[in-house]
Amino acid sequence: MKLLRRYFIAGLLFWVPIWVTILIITFLVDIIGGTVSLLPKAYQPEQLLGFHIPGLNFLLVIILILITGALVANFLGNFFIGLWDRFINKIPLVRTIYSGAKQILETVFTPQGKAFRKVLLVQYPRQGLWSIAFQTGDVAKEISDGVERDMITIFVPTTPNPTSGFLMMISKEDAKELSMTVDQALKLVISLGVVQPQAKDKQKTLQTESK
């Protein structure tokens, strides 16, 4: 039984990351690649080529993202993006969803964003129990003034699925900043604490950041 258990766990460690990756990629391909079906049937790729190409939607997604990025990264592209944003902001319900999603992506992925740049240690769910958290931003001045403390917003992920968790606002003095990177903290959460940050990894990270 011990041998079977060992083999089973080894099999899970091999397949689960692959399954998760495939699910995420499939989701993106279905969402973005599905836009091809909006084209008139005569202009759809399979009709033009005369045969089905496996993985065509995935290739189209990559090409679409690259072309869009090349267009919006220049001055003319920024001008049209500004026009598009102003148009979207005139639609009551759509502007809320669109602007919120855009702000989240800009905060998380741009170098200027503060979200998920710091790994914290906070006492949660009670005093004496410590949990990994990520700083997602600063609290609005009205909230900090209301509690008369310097506050920050944090995200406490659940394990082994870090995409779900809890949004909380705590005082800066109640959060301890850690030297580990976001990647190291995510590995710690996903692995249920099995994969601990290594000193070598920290040294490599510091060397990379110094360069």
Rounded Cα gap, residues 19 and 34, in angstroms: 21
Domain extents for the chain? Answer: 17-109, 119-193
pLDDT at 114: 59
Flag whether pLDDT at 112 surpasses 70. no
Split at pLDDT 50, 70, 90, the class of 10 is confident
Flag whether pLDDT at 81 surpasses 70. yes
pLDDT at 110: 59
Q: Three-state DSSP class for 204? A: helix
What is the pTM for the complete model shown? Answer: 0.51
pLDDT at 24: 72
- 27-74 per-position pLDDT tens digit: 777 776 666 666 667 766 666 676 666 667 777 777 777 887 777 777
Region 18-32 average pLDDT: 73
Split at pLDDT 50, 70, 90, the class of 121 is very high
Flag whether pLDDT at 199 surpasses 80. no
Residue matched to tokens 């990270």: 205
Q: Which residue has the higher pLDDT, 72 or 157?
A: 157
Q: Which residues are CB-neighbours of 186 under 8 A, at least 6 positions away?
A: 157, 162
DSSP assignment of 163-179: TSEEEEEEEGGG-EE-S
pLDDT at 104: 62
AA letter at 30: D
- Quick check: bond before 40 cis, omega within 30? no
Strand-pairing partners, residue 152, are 138, 170
